[in-house]
Amino acid sequence: MTNTMENTKTKVLIAEDLRTSRMIIERLLTRWGFEPVLCEDGLQAQEALAKPDGPRIAILDWMMPGKTGPEICAWIGKELDAFVYTILLTSKTERKDMLAGLTAGAHAYITKPTDPTELEAQIKVGLRILGYESELAYKSEELRRYATQMETLAEDRARQLVHADRMVTLGTMSAGIAHEINNSATLLSGNVQTLEKFWPVVQQSLEQSAGESGADSRLDFILEEVPNILGGMRKGVVRISKIVKGLKTYSHREKSDDLEPVQINDAIHSSLELCENALKRTATTKLKLASDLPEVMAAAHQLEQVFVNMIVNACDAMRPKAPGEITVTTRHEDDEIVVVFEDTGPGIPAEILEKIWDPFYTTKGIGKGTGLGLSISLGIIDNHGGSYRVENRDEGGARFIITLPIRKEAA
């Protein structure tokens, strides 16, 4: 056994009403480099843990005056904001007692008389978990700061927009993105990274217990369901990363004349991700994207602005009879890339087909559109040397066709 352990001077609480046992553990902890916090009963232990700088590893006797060890574990889980790694000490050896302690919230279970080697191993586990918990808290705070920065960036971006329609579009998406982030962020409360780190330790203990004591439906349920729960939490974290990545890409500052090689299919995928909230319960998307398309020279954020405008307009047109369908097709023709957006909405009356490109012309209700979206989009495509036209589909709905010249090197 080592004489010292990492994280020296970490506070470790000892709640034990037997003085001899308490002194033995105190000497061990002192030898290992910890700062013991001694308590003679459960009430003293609860008071010590409630302090802002209180211990975050607790060795609790099962039976002691004031409050029992399992009662303190339950109190920690319900009332204490900080994470505390708890080790129960007891002479109880029945399997049902161990399950009761774990159910109350204990993380480890050591029988008396205390084996120093086992106690040292359990404390090392606690130190690792505290490290994971600290890292998770840092990452969560980093994510919160990053989300705040993205919100500030979006607001600053909106103030600089020359065209009012861009502000309307960005405002719609920002509301949807904020909603998605709030929904997914609730999954972080489970401290997914911490749970994934120490679940194998608990799982091994439970499997061993089940093997020694026979079948138990509760243990089987825990062993079966916890990995599924952790998987769901991981998906939530991935979802947050995906949304933030889309916001970062969309909000990236670029000069209007900053052209770079752009893969059209990538721009379409980014635009669809940004419009996911608008698409919900309104439309399904069908992608017919040609593979190995040549790149175009473009300002990526401007092309995404055009595509986002197309998707939002299609959703608005189909909303009264939702859900509808949006089909996006890409293909390579001669020296051009062709992008086609089709929807299953009511289409555009023939008499206004040419008017829709006029600035401030809109078919939307008052306060729902500025009439600048298509005129801005037409200007963007013209500046990129492409073309933009519209027609009605025979089966109903509108079809917008965009062409862009491929990059000369690719040609």
Question: DSSP characters for 43-111?
Answer: HHHHHHHHSTT--SEEEEESS-SSS-HHHHHHHHHHH-SS--EEEEEES---HHHHHHHHHHT-SEEEE
Task: At 22, list the tokens.
Answer: 């308490």
The pLDDT score that the predictor gives to residue 3 is: 42
If one compares 21 and 202, the residue with the highest pLDDT of the two is 21
Listed ranges 103-107, 218-222, 255-259; the one with the highest mean pLDDT: 103-107
The pLDDT score that the predictor gives to residue 187 is: 58
Task: State the architecture of 11-114 in CATH terms.
Answer: 3-Layer(aba) Sandwich (3.40)
d(CA 44, CA 24): 19
Task: At 137, list the tokens.
Answer: 């808290």
The pLDDT score that the predictor gives to residue 265 is: 92
Residue 165 has pLDDT above 60, yes or no: no
Domain ranges for the chain: 11-114, 151-251, 260-405
What number is the average pLDDT over the span 271-284?
82
The pLDDT score that the predictor gives to residue 266 is: 92
Domains 11-114 and 260-405 share a fold: no
Phi, psi of 403, rounded to the nearest 5 degrees = -120, 145
Asked if 362 and 164 touch (Cβ cutoff 8 Å), the reply is no
How is domain 260-405 classified at the CATH fold level? Heat Shock Protein 90 (3.30.565)
What number is the average pLDDT over the span 28-40?
91
What is the tens place of the pLDDT at every residue in 52-80?
A: 888 999 999 888 898 888 899 989 888 88
Residue 322 has pLDDT above 80, yes or no: no
The pLDDT score that the predictor gives to residue 164 is: 46
Helix, strand, coil distribution of the chain in percent, nearest 5: 55, 15, 30
pTM over 0.85: no
What is the tens place of the pLDDT at every residue in 182-217?
A: 566 665 655 677 777 777 887 788 777 766 666 566
